Amino acid sequence: MMDSKIPAGELADKWKNYKDSSNLINPANRKKLDIIVVGTGLAGASCAATLAEQGYNVKSFCFQDSARRAHSVAAQGGVNAAKNYKNDGDSVFRMFHDTIKGGDFRSREANVYRLAECSLALIDQAVAQGVPFAREYGGYLNNRSFGGVQVSRTFYARGQTGQQLMVGAYQALMRQVSAGKVQTYTRHEMLDLVLVDGKARGIIARNLETGEIERHAANAVVLATGGYGKVYYLSTLAMGCNTSAIWRAHKKGAFMSGVSWIQFHPTCLPQIGETQSKLTLMSESLRNDGRIWVPKKAGDERVPNDIPEEERDYYLERRYPTFGNLSPRDISSRAAKERIDAGCGVGPMKNAVCLDFSKAIKEQGRDKIEEKYGNLFRMYDKINGVDAYKEPMLISPAAHFTMGGLWVDYNLMTTIPGLFALGEANFSDHGANRLGANSLLQSCVDGYFIAPYTIPNYLSGELKAEKITTEHPAFKEAEDAVQAQIIRFLNVDGHLSADYFHKALGKLLYDKCGLSRTKKSLEAAVIEIKALKKSFDHELKIPGDDQLNSELEKAGRVADFLELGVLMCYDALQREESCGAHFREEYQTTEGEALRNDEDFCYVSAWEWKGEEVQQELHKEPLVFEAVKLTVRSYK
């Protein structure tokens, strides 16, 4: 049985009770403790800055050339908070319920309620940092709606919310660097976790500019390294995004949870060619005013503006009249795929749907739409050469966010003592589907408000522990394993690039473990991925040496993706139901909606690594719902 360590008491009191009873460390002792934080996105930067401000010694690692280039800048649409500024019925409980329901009742009540509760403080924190949230004429902070909710709770800075929040966290981090409490290691990639007596006590990192392998020791390690959506190759994530940090930790004993819960964002630019390496995200905020449609007639060759109103199918408004174009991402993406598969897709590859602003422009005026979404329209024009004020945007679902990740308890600690996972690196808050604008929220809340309580609570028991240095044999053992893998990659001397294997894996997963899955497709995927892995082991070609070498970096990441891909398929196979972003075609209603099985699958899957070529062991954390009632998830 997995112990989630949820505090006692009423749901609304659990976090307060935890903070009131957590162990503290006096300022003099904090100076004696070292913490490693891997990742400098919103979760990592906020955690490092806050812990350093408390007095701990922090080492901050990122593989980018600057902490500011973390992928959090790409989350554009907004950040949720239950402030109820619109006086439209919002509350902490309402936000908690929306998030639980949005995740199809596959997340912990206690964690989700804490997320909603801490959202209130985050907005005040961000404003104090100077984040330029949109304001109404009178000066009050403005809000807009996002998918899966019927209130306006999303705070935004035009279409740059992630970037602006990232600037605030980066400033806080740099302030602690200047104060001497944070050491930054840019262009460094974590390659392994070091355990001493079963506890996380350091990492092995590679300097990506010199190739040097480095040892770093600490009293606790925090992984805030984002999600693994790039396993599909074509995704909205930056090219460098990967799973290696959490996967290496997984192979050292940290359980992975919900790995088959992958969100496909419905509002992305469609693929336009076989040589493409990335897909571009258009903010979900566009669905506040844009209407989504396809031609009613399959195979319609006319350009969108030539298709009259009566021949357009506003399929989200038709199928889900209560939520319409603001239906949750999983439902909206599947609905788009269904229309595209039915032959109603538009665009050169017939793989897109229309996002139309003509009605909003007519009712509100172009100036108002430009004020809200101007930078997104300019981005669309720059990429496609199309003025979306005059004709519809073309959008398509794309792999985006991973609800799965390292299993963590209420403390955000993994199954390895002393190893914490924050933000998208953990599975914690979103269940089987994430509601829009909850990603930035979770990252900030984990880093600013949760980890600064839970990590010291753990460290209070480590004050009398023996001081571990990088001379400990465990560091040499981990370093030797890293070096052996590098040598193995360089010596394969095949003829295929790491990108070749990554693309093959991505297409395989998209076709067989993507927006929809079947038992047959998943079983076939396992066989094919294992064969691809054998080919990778014998046919990989890495030019260059072990110094400055981006192809060597890719090889390590692709090796981890190949192993992860197998686990994703096993995770999807064992869950014989449809829930959220996990849609098994065998389990659907007569209307084509997800058919959940609460009697047999109301749990979080937690997988334990058992070794190479050995199927992982499944552990189950039962989900108990006391504050909400398990109901059929409907947005009709």
Q: Catalytic amino acids?
A: 329
The helix (run of H) or strand (run of E) holding residue 471 is none
Cα dist from 107 to 13, 115, 207, 257, 607, whole Å:
19, 12, 37, 11, 16
Identity of the amino acid at 426: N
Measured distance CA(263)–CA(232) in Å, rounded = 12
SS3 label, residue 604? strand
CA triple 316-321-327, angle to 5 deg: 50
CA gyration radius, the chain: 24
Residues whose CB falls within 8 Å of the CB of residue 636, separated by 6 or more in sequence, listed in order: 319, 320, 321, 322
Measured distance CA(396)–CA(398) in Å, rounded = 6
Identity of the amino acid at 560: D
Residue 293 · residue 312 · CB < 8 Å: yes
What torsion do the CA atoms of 22, 23, 29, 30 make, to the nearest 10 degrees? -20
State the DSSP string of 414-430. Answer: -SSTTEEE-GGGB-TTT
The burial of 309, by beta-carbon neighbours within 10 Å (0-12 exposed, 13-18 middle, 19 or more buried), is given as: exposed
Nearest Cα neighbor of 408 from 418, 398, 400, 397 is 418
SS3 label, residue 231? helix
Q: What number of CA atoms fall less than 13 Å from residue 169's CA on the CB side? A: 33
